[in-house]
Amino acid sequence: MTDLFPDKGHDHGRCIDSALHQAEIVAEANNARFTNMRRRVFTLIWQSHKAITAYELLDALQAEGVRAQPPTVYRALEFLVGLRLIHRIESLNAYFGCDMPDCEHLGQYFICRNCGRVAEAVNEDMSRAVRTAAGIVGFKIEATTIEIKGLCHDCAAH
């Protein structure tokens, strides 16, 4: 078994740094401006491996002393989702950092209801199953949402 969820002792500072670095590259490649506000929001999202809501981000920004309003947060989120630097988890109305923003992928999200952590997986069998099912019914796919709720390995064990 390979646990997708990060170790308890993992060096989270490195997670964030690496994500930021990748994000800068992606933004650059898209001729998009990775502004201060966007960087702040992105960094806040990466503070944990949980999904975070727009208003939690807003509170966090305000706690940092930034005078922000909802539209500011939603704009940053829209930007980041657009570049696939983060993903929106529909069933939580929340956002989650993507750790493979440089390749197009159909991600599936495992969401632990106990610890709140989210892990993204890419699974070719699943992608193929979706494509095949769509093909059979003549459906032209534009976006796919796969969200799986339950207990992560750690939480299921306790």
Could you say which of its own copies, DNA, none residue 38 binds, taking C-beta under 5 to 8 angstroms by partner kind?
DNA
Question: What residues between 72 and 91 interact with DNA by CB under 7 A?
Answer: 72, 74-76, 79
Could you say which of its own copies, DNA, none residue 144 binds, taking C-beta under 5 to 8 angstroms by partner kind?
its own copies
Instruction: Return the ∠ at Cα 58 (arms to 57 and 62), rounded to 5°.
Output: 115
Cβ-Cβ contacts under 8 Å for 89 (sequence gap 6 or more): 51, 95, 96, 109, 111, 118, 147
For DNA, the binding residue among 2, 7, 14, 36 (CB under 7 A) is 36
Cβ-Cβ contacts under 8 Å for 14 (sequence gap 6 or more): none
Q: Output the six-digit token pair for 149.
A: 């709720």
Q: Tell me whether residue 55 or residue 139 sits nearer to DNA (CB atom).
A: 55
Contact segment (CB under 7 A) with DNA among 28-36, 99-107, 115-123, 127-135 equals 28-36
- Torsion over CA: 141, 49, 100, 39 (sign): positive
Minimum CB distance to its own copies, residue 44 (Å): 23
Say whether residue 99 binds its own copies (CB under 8 A): no
Could you say which of its own copies, DNA, none residue 148 binds, taking C-beta under 5 to 8 angstroms by partner kind?
its own copies
Question: Residue 59: what are its φ and ψ, rounded to 5°?
Answer: -60, -45
